């Protein structure tokens, strides 16, 4: 029997993935040169599909990296001379902050306890911070920051660059790229692919900053995948190094499938499934939603508190459902349920029935 994966990444593969993989094999995508017209057409197609899906304007380029965490380093190297600013409320936003320290940036921190979220009114950006680092969906705790708050914050600080980690929620958040300078995700979460590709969206303001930093002789902006090099190659839909051609192809196909369904429908279905899960947790005596504030509850990674998570995971597994464990030290008190486009309303209903018993 096949399992259904409700894990927050790697996750259930999107139902069309296997078919696209077979087509890629039939077309020998794994062997084509990344300097060929065939590859440039693939990059261009994936770029177009992502632009439609996420409403990305021509001011922003779309680049490929090895993973999303690679982008933490790239964006800090390329967009921060001295100071970055981080909203931290869990393990992933904490790691973004840790990367800044590792790169010897002066990293400002605004921290909230695990399970709590940020509103625009909570946030004052330090005067000299150059890059504001936001995490749309804190995967460890199931907390989201609403895009409307991110947009308001940017309007309050229009001169600062804003970057959004949307790794475990894209394509759900409706970011306004007229305001958000940069965002990134990886494919093994809501895009329903195996791990192995990061996607970095960045605009001309980020590029201008990186070019300025490179002119300072003492400024190290990294050697690998600098924004100016990525941007230069992007002009002809190429990449500086040999990229994951197969996954760029597959991502384009999955994004095309998402566009066929329609982004509004995908967002609506995600919210419907999240409502079902939170309602179940709210009504249940054995479970409770971990995030108390409704407006901060993630739509894509639902975290529940329960007495014996290990038993719950075992029981679910016996019914062919793989549920995520609590993150780190929360293994003994929580479970995490990924609500990505790859799982249907029916599958979520079935999961709820199993959790009930
Ligand atoms: C998974 C995750 C990352 C890291 O992504 P990788 O593909 O493992 O590099 C970063 N941020 C968030 C919020 C995540 O959920």
180 and 129 housed in the same domain: yes
The CA 352 to ligand 1 mean position distance, Å, reads 26
The CA 95 to ligand 1 mean position distance, Å, reads 10
In terms of Cα–Cα distance, which of 78, 312, 100 is closest to 202? 78
Q: Give the pLDDT mean for 33-45.
A: 98
Q: Is the dihedral of CA 210, 214, 216, 222 positive or negative?
A: positive
What confidence score (pLDDT) does residue 220 get?
A: 81
Q: For position 268, which CATH number holds?
A: 3.90.1150.10
| Other Cβ atoms closer than 10 A to 232 | 13
What confidence score (pLDDT) does residue 357 get?
A: 83
Q: Give the pLDDT mean for 93-97.
A: 98
* Among 260, 277, 301, residue at a domain's last position: 260
| Other Cβ atoms closer than 10 A to 130 | 19
pLDDT 10s digits, 220-271? 889 999 999 999 999 999 999 999 999 999 999 999 999 999 999 999 999 9
Cβ of 145 closer than 6 Å to ligand 1, yes or no, is no
Q: First CA to last CA across the chain, in angstroms?
A: 21
95 and 163 housed in the same domain: yes
Q: How far apart are CA 323 and CA 339, in angstroms?
A: 11
What confidence score (pLDDT) does residue 234 get?
A: 98
pLDDT 10s digits, 53-82? 999 999 999 999 999 999 999 999 999 999
Q: What percent of the chain stands above pLDDT 70?
A: 99
pLDDT 10s digits, 324-352? 999 999 999 999 999 999 999 999 999 99
Q: How far apart are CA 157 and CA 175, in angstroms?
A: 17
* Among 260, 278, 299, residue at a domain's last position: 260
Look up the domain containing 335 and give its range. Answer: 4-11+263-356
- 104 contacts 133 by C-beta, under 8 angstroms: no
237 and 270 housed in the same domain: no
Q: For position 240, which CATH number holds?
A: 3.40.640.10
Length of the chain: 357
pLDDT 10s digits, 110-142? 999 999 999 999 999 999 999 999 999 999 999
Q: How far apart are CA 280 and CA 85, in angstroms?
A: 37
The CA 23 to ligand 1 mean position distance, Å, reads 28
Q: How far apart are CA 36 and CA 238, in angstroms?
A: 9
Q: What percent of the chain stands above pLDDT 90?
A: 97
Q: How far apart are CA 72 and CA 334, in angstroms?
A: 27
| Other Cβ atoms closer than 10 A to 87 | 25
Cβ of 186 closer than 6 Å to ligand 1, yes or no, is yes
296 and 339 housed in the same domain: yes
């Amino acid at each position: 029997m096949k399992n259904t994966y409700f894990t927050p990444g790697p996750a259930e593969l999107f139902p069309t993935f296997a078919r696209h993989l077979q087509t890629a094999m039939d077309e020998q995508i794994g062997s084509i040169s990344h300097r060929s017209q065939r590859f440039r057409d693939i990059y261009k197609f994936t770029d177009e599909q992502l632009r439609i899906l996420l409403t990305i304007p021509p001011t922003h380029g779309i680049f490929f990296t090895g993973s999303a965490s690679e982008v933490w380093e790239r964006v800090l190297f390329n967009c921060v001379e001295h100071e970055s600013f981080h909203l931290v409320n869990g393990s992933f936003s904490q790691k973004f902050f840790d990367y800044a320290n590792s790169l010897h940036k002066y990293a400002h921190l605004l921290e909230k306890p695990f399970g709590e979220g940020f509103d625009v009114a909570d946030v004052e950006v330090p005067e000299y911070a150059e890059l504001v680092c936001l995490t749309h969906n804190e995967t460890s705790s199931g907390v989201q920051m609403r895009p409307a708050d991110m947009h308001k914050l940017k309007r309050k600080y229009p001169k600062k660059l804003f970057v959004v980690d949307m790794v475990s929620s894209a394509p759900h958040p409706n970011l306004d790229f007229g305001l958000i300078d940069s965002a990134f995700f990886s494919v093994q979460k809501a895009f329903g692919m195996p791990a192995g590709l990061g996607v970095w969206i960045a605009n001309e303001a980020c590029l201008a900053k990186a070019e300025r930093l490179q002119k300072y002789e003492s400024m190290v902006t990294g050697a690998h995948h600098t924004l100016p090099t990525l941007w230069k190659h992007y002009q002809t839909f190429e990449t500086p190094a040999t990229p994951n051609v197969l996954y760029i192809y597959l991502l384009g196909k999955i994004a095309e499938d998402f566009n066929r369904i329609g982004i509004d429908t995908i967002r609506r279905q995600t919210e419907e499934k999240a409502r079902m899960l939170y309602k179940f947790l709210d009504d249940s005596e054995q479970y409770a939603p971990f995030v108390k504030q409704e407006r901060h509850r993630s739509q894509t990674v639902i975290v529940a508190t329960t007495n014996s998570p290990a038993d719950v995971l075992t029981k679910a597994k016996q019914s062919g459902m793989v549920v995520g464990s609590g993150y780190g030290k929360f293994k003994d008190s929580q479970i995490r349920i990924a609500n990505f486009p790859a799982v249907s309303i029916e599958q979520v209903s079935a999961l709820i029935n199993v959790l009930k018993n």
